[in-house]
Each structure stands twice: as C-alpha cells, then as structure tokens.
Homo-oligomer: A and B are copies of this chain.
C-alpha cells in the first residue's frame, strides 16, 4: 500500500497553494526579459569588502562561539547594539530583552501568525500590502480585512467602520498590519498625523499594530517620519525590521521588537521551530554595526536607489501615456502605477511579456483581489539602461492596451 497523504495532511497544509506571483516571476528568467517585477536589493550595493573584513574579525574574536549553537533570543551582543541603534536612530525605546533576532523579518511575521491567529480569526491590513505577510498570516487560516491606503495615509474612517462592523458580529480583529514607510508594493508613506490616528484607533479598541519596516532606512529626500513604534507608550506596536535591505538578504537576519510578554511567546515558539538563528551571521552583523560600517553603507544604497528611482520617474514622464498615474516614493524600492479602470494589467501581462518586460499585477497585493488596473514596479534591481528601456517597452504595451480598450468601449457604446 502506498501512503494515502490526503488522510494525513492537516487542513491548513491542504489549503497551502503555490504563490501565483512566484510562478509569474519564473517568466522573468526568459533571456532578454527586462523584469521590473522582482523585489530584490541590487547586488551592486552589497558591501562585499566590508563583509569580508567583518568575517575576518569574527574569525579573530569569536569563531568558536560563532560556530556553536546560540540562544533562541539571539546573540546578546547583537541585541544590544540593535536596541541602542533603535533608540538613537528611530526613537524607539527598547531594552535588548524586548528585541528578538529572527531568521529574516519574515520569521517575525510567521511568529505573529502562530501566536495570534486561530483558524477563522480576522486581522486588518492596509491595502495594497506585502504579499509575504498575507502568506504568513493565511498559513494560520486567518481572514484579512483590507483598509485602503490613500495618498499619504490610511482611510481612518473606513478602518473605524470596519472594526465596528466586525465587533457587531462578535469578531475581534487581532491586529492591524501595515508597512507604513516606503511601502511594498506602492511606495507610499503614511503621514505622522495618520500614524497617530492609527494608534488612537488601536488604543480605543485595544488592538495590536504590526509595523513592518524593512525600508525605513532607505530614505531619499525629506525628513523621516517617526515609526509608529516610537509613538507607542503602551506596548501596542510590534515592530519588525531586517538586515536584508541594509546588509544582505543572504544572511537571513531580521529583528522584532515587542513587549517582553510577547517576545517570550515568540522565543518559545522559535525554539521549537529552529532552535536559534544562524550564529555566524549574527556575529557578522554585530561586527558590521559595531565597526561603524552600517551608516556608510546605507548612504551608498540610498544614492544608488535614488538614482534609479529618478531614472524610472524620468522615463515614466517621457514614455508613459498621460492617463497613467504613478506614485513618487521618497524612499524604498517600489512604485505603483494606476491605469484607467478599463485596463486589466493581468490581461495585459502576456502582451508585456511578449514585448520582453515584466511587472507584478496589482491585484496580487490586495487581500480581496480587484484593482486590476494597477501594477507594481521595482526600481532597485535593474540596470539604469534596462529601467529606461523597460519603461519604454511597458509604455508601448500600455498605449496599445489603452487604444484597444478605447476602441472596444466605443464599439460597445455603439451597441456593436
């Protein structure tokens, strides 16, 4: 007899589905394709020599500890320098015991899912939103209520209405998830005013806020908006960040800041899920921060990405038809294009691929789908030349699609 797996898989495992976006991204490997679809940091900016130096320091100073098991909470040295940096750079008050080192910020999201989401539970997310968070939370069979992002903030009235509606049906939303700064996917930043209002609403209904902040350091212009966590005096905010965008994603290092009570739960869960985070890499990150390399590196990345953003914005201005709107992110790695409602970027995708350019369809970032007239573009990864050529190709496809759909509409209007 062969194993009958269907009898053995859990309900949650059965409902796991391959990410459609991941399948789409495979297309981007076709030779000649210019992909504005991915979300990768630019390897040009990886501080290879600095990492090499830091590794030499690890060999010199800590190698036997770096190769041994470590504590689940994370390397004490690293937790300390990170807690100090959070205070000095982000005005986030935290002691090392409130800071957990994770296997990328994604593990923090997964720990949140494990700790707060029962099957059928509901959480709230601003939308569009980070796909990986949707996956981390839906892995625990939870439902998402989406709150629209507006130009510089959240539709607070919609948030309040949504919570009230949920409470009337005796559903307590577990938390509000948001990427408030240079957001993936739309590149927008929630204003200070809206951050305060968000915290007020969370306080009023006694909810947690999950502040996912992978891009906050990558600011190109203007004054940084304080993290929601820095405004939080009641341990209401769980804050996540990562070394993936300021050192290298290959080291899989992130951190989560929360009250000790919550961190303790995360530690217990992390222990059974992987014992501890890669110790060697934690020492490298410690040498990287304590050696004073981080700030210089952030400047280097910002310069590179700002240049690429400007190139993309210039190309969009030059090539994109006037009917298309786009966000102008002040930092991060992404911007968001909105086309007239009659265009479906999902239908248009095959044509774009045929014209050797790829993007991510906008509806993927909405928990409830829809918004088919939008798309995400990444400006961090491609070469300057490819960004210009990519936008030119994309604009061609958009123009054709606008013309085709106009014709279709006028035919429909004529009753044809």
Contact = CB atoms under 8 A, between A and B. Distances in A.
A375 to B, nearest CB: 21
A360 to B, nearest CB: 16
12 contacts: A8-B174, A10-B116, A16-B265, A22-B271, A65-B250, A69-B249, A110-B272, A249-B279, A250-B279, A251-B279, A274-B274, A281-B281
B268 A251 contact: no
A216 B4 CA distance: 29
B281 A104 contact: no
Given A117-B10, A118-B11, A248-B68, A274 B104 contact: yes
Most buried by B among A208, A259, A271: A271
A317 interface: no
Given A66-B250, A278-B281, A272 B135 contact: yes
B235 A3 contact: yes
A139 B67 contact: no
A167 interface: no
Interface stretch (A51-59, A347-355, A391-399): A51-59
Contacts of A22: 271
A66 B16 CA distance: 28
Interface of A: 1-5, 7-13, 16-19, 22, 40-41, 43, 46, 48, 51-52, 55, 59, 63-70, 102-104, 106-107, 110, 113-118, 121, 132, 135-136, 138-140, 172, 174-175, 203, 206-208, 234-236, 244, 248-252, 259, 261-262, 264-265, 268-269, 271-281
A274 B107 contact: yes
Work out how many copies of this chain go into the complex.
2
A350 B240 CA distance: 41
Nearest to A107: B274
A280 B1 contact: no
Contacts of A67: 43, 46, 48, 51, 248-251
Given A59-B48, A67-B51, A278-B251, A1 B106 contact: no
A107 B278 CA distance: 13
A208 B269 contact: no
A116 B13 contact: yes
Contacts of A272: 106, 110, 113, 132, 135-136, 138-139
A93 B63 CA distance: 36
A330 to B, nearest CB: 25
A396 B16 CA distance: 56
A250 B114 contact: no
Contacts of A273: 106-107, 110, 136, 139, 273
Nearest to A15: B268
B250 A19 contact: no
Contacts of A206: 1, 3-4, 7
Contact of A252 (B117, B132, B140, B274): B274
Contacts of A107: 273-274
Given A68-B250, A114-B13, A275-B104, A208 B55 contact: no
A117 to B, nearest CB: 7
A83 to B, nearest CB: 21
A126 B245 CA distance: 45
Contact of A103 (B7, B265, B274, B280): B274
